[in-house]
Amino acid sequence: MSTSESETNTPLTPLNQGHVFTGAEEEFDRIPLLDLRPQFERLRDEIGSLVLGVLDHGQFIKGPEMLELEQALAKRARVADVVTVGNGTDALQIALMAEGIGPGDAVFVSGFTYVASAGAILLTGATPVFVDIRPKTFNMDPDDLEARIQRVKADGKLNPRAIMPVDLFGLPANYERINAIAEEHGLFVVADAAQSFGGTLDGHPVGGLAPVSTTSFYPTKPLGGYGDGGALFTNDLDRAEVYRSIREHGFPLGDRTGAVRLGLNSRLDTLQAAILLAKLQALDGEIYRREVAARAYDSYLKGKIEIPIRPDNVMSAWSQYSIRVKNRDKVRAAMTEARIGTAVYYVKPLHMHPAHAAYSEGPGSLPVCEQISKEILSLPMHPDLDRAAVERVCQVLLSVLD
């Protein structure tokens, strides 16, 4: 990711609302997992101006800001087209629907992610096949993916159709291997980039790393709105046209006389588009600031605890800074007592959710996912996290581990 000279020489903005020093005691107040208030203060004028523009023209659905956002996203991701939709789950479902994926089809998905990834597959009638992850990256293990494709083919009950990698915690998956496996087996790849938009792989921005990529604009994401939203990224203009049809009840573009396919009601509203336009302008600087915060964590924790991996060819979006600790629940309780926000992503791998029991091989079938779910802990991370806050988080963390 390129940054301007002013960005590289600018320190992180203090987390004004997240912690305070109180006189000579220099006592920390709460350090939240995520604090969006400083970001809003920085972007208040830009957001306010764009939102007022929407209120003035009154085109709350499919207003000009929606098209402007789609064009800006496409330019940033270096893809031919972007189609915005109501949320990230819809984006995944629409991508699968456009390929005609449904009952009898197998979609291979990372077993360690949010339930929305599996939910989008199940909503099409297809069957999720859960794939284990690599213990360092937390992303889909290409070797396990290859093995599970071969097993499904040998079993003959399902038709392998698609692969859904998930870029966990902001780190792009191994798309070189995954795309090669997909090509070998004639499978379609839809990248779940809900957590990684803003990152890069081999200098290529997230959004163009697979035939279709999706993202989410949920408020906690690196590019988040003030409500729900999502998008699909593709270089295939024919696919993009189908996505636009599906997001509007299956009507062909410009023709409301008859739906031509099954569709959804899934449009990004104009107010969210306006907010995202303001935030998109600040994204490069915020990704840089997340990187600085991550490196600060690294400097305090390296050699003392297992820190997130940093492949040389990857720039993470640092949606979360996640570590592994053996006594996770004890550590988290101590952090909470110290007024430091943490989170567990995810308490259960996908194959251990009751709703997915029919598609699971049970405990022990995804050993890395199962082990990581017992140890994973996400620390405070956002673009306005300063070094003093990081130092305090690390002090408390290491004191519990000693």
Q: Which domains does the chain have, with CATH numbers?
A: 5-36+281-401 (3.90.1150.10), 44-277 (3.40.640.10)
Q: Which of 38, 7, 8 is nearest to 20 (CA)?
A: 38
Examine the pLDDT at 16 and tell me if it is beyond 80.
no
Look at strands 81-85 and 127-131 and give their pairing: unpaired
pLDDT band at 225 (very low <50, low <70, confident <90, very high): very high
Task: Give backbone dihedrals phi and psi of 173, rounded to 5 degrees, phi first.
Answer: -70, 175
Report the alpha-carbon angle 394-309-389, nearest 5: 20
Residues above pLDDT 90, as percent of the chain? 91
- Give alpha helix (H) positions in 115-190: 115-123, 142-155, 175-185
> Distance between CA atoms of 38 and 358, rounded to whole angstroms?
45
> Distance between CA atoms of 67 and 52, rounded to whole angstroms?
17
> Distance between CA atoms of 188 and 208, rounded to whole angstroms?
14
**Residues whose CB is less than 8 angstroms from the CB of residue 25 and which lie 6 or more positions away in sequence, other chains included:** none
Mean pLDDT of 332-352: 97
Task: Give backbone dihedrals phi and psi of 232, rounded to 5 degrees, phi first.
Answer: -115, 135
**Residues whose CB is less than 8 angstroms from the CB of residue 239 and which lie 6 or more positions away in sequence, other chains included:** 98, 212
Q: How many CB atoms lie within 10 A of CB 14?
A: 16
The residue to which tokens 């006594």 are assigned: 327
Examine the pLDDT at 46 and tell me if it is beyond 50.
yes
pLDDT digits (tens, 9 = 90+) for 244-286: 999 999 999 888 999 999 999 999 999 999 999 999 999 999 9
> Distance between CA atoms of 95 and 106, rounded to whole angstroms?
15
Number of H helices, E strands in the chain: 12, 12
Mean pLDDT of 316-340: 96
Report the alpha-carbon angle 71-252-128, nearest 5: 80
CA dihedral 251→254→256→262, nearest 10 degrees, is: 0
Six-digit token pair at 54? 């929407």
pLDDT digits (tens, 9 = 90+) for 169-223: 999 999 999 999 999 999 999 999 999 999 999 999 999 999 999 999 999 999 9
Three-state secondary-structure class, residue 212 = strand
- Greatest alpha-carbon span in the chain: 72
Beta-bridged to residue 127, according to DSSP, are: 106
Q: What is the DSSP letter of 383?
A: T
Q: How many CB atoms lie within 10 A of CB 275?
A: 26
Q: Rounded to two decimals, what is the model's pTM?
A: 0.91
> Distance between CA atoms of 225 and 145, rounded to whole angstroms?
33
Q: Which of 340, 339, 349, 293 is nearest to 316 (CA)?
A: 293
Examine the pLDDT at 3 and tell me if it is beyond 50.
no
The overall average pLDDT reported for the chain is 92
